[in-house]
Amino acid sequence: MLEVKNVVFAYPDQNTPWNFHFSVEPGQCIAIHGASGSGKSTLMNLLAGFLQPKSGDILWQGKSIRNHAPWQRPMTSVFQEHNLFEHLSVETNIGLGIHPGLKLTQEDRQAIERGLQKVGLGEFGMRLPGDLSGGQRQRVALLRAILRQQPLLLLDEPLTGLDSDAGDILRQLLLEQKANGTLMVLASHDKEDRRILADSACNL
């Protein structure tokens, strides 16, 4: 279980701090809901370890991960900026997600190929991210995160701006992940995404 216990945070120039408090079970998805500027991305950064809470705690399976570095946390994130390496091919970007040293097994390579086909990018493995559309980059970022197979998936508006076919494919992929026991924290302002994917909600 992920427990976010009275996590208080404010940026230096901010008067009223946030206080985040919720918990989520494996295989469940919580939707983080709020207007633009309400703190959804801030919460994602706190969970991922890129920001430090002023007080409160974050627990995974009953143990605090509050002081763990981002790479020590049992999670992977898809941020709004996608964070793809622009000088590396789509395949290598995804491969680095699975193995930072790129020691990929035949099985890993097949999983990448199957994944790319699944998200409609079967022909795009050797392209550079700069030669993809925004929606295609988004699919690569999401696939990379999913193939990392961490128990927790942080999704910051992962389906925003996708056309409806690509959106359907990715929603299906996320539902499969959930069925496999992945816990998801989903920031989304899209009512339909929240209805299809989320089991509970946290309103900011």
Tally Cβ neighbours within 10 Å of residue 195.
9
Among 40, 73, 82, 144, binds ligand ADP (CB under 6 A): 40
Q: Is 11 in the site for ligand ADP (CB under 6 A)?
A: yes
User: Based on CB atoms, which residue is closest to Mg ion, 40 or 82?
Assistant: 40
Q: Measured from the CB of residue 36, what is the shortest distance to Mg ion in angstroms?
A: 7
Q: Is 39 in the site for ligand ADP (CB under 6 A)?
A: yes
Nearest Cα neighbor of 147 from 162, 129, 130, 125 is 125
Site for Mg ion in 14-73 (CB under 5 A): 40-41
Q: Which of 39-47, 108-116, 165-173, 191-199 is the region at the interface with ligand ADP (rule: CB under 6 A)? A: 39-47
Q: Is 36 in the site for ligand ADP (CB under 6 A)?
A: yes
Among 38, 92, 150, 160, binds ligand ADP (CB under 6 A): 38
Burial (CB count within 10 angstroms: exposed 0-12, middle 13-18, buried 19+), residue 89? middle
Please report, for residues 8, 9, 14, 48, 133, the alpha-carbon distance to residue 19 in angstroms, rounded to integers and kept in the order given: 5, 7, 13, 17, 37
Per DSSP, what are the bridge partners of residue 184?
29, 153
User: Based on CB atoms, which residue is closest to ligand ADP, 40 or 144?
Assistant: 40
Nearest Cα neighbor of 188 from 57, 29, 19 is 29
The residues that touch ligand ADP, with contacts defined as CB under 6 A, are 11, 34, 36-42
The residues that touch Mg ion, with contacts defined as CB under 5 A, are 40-41
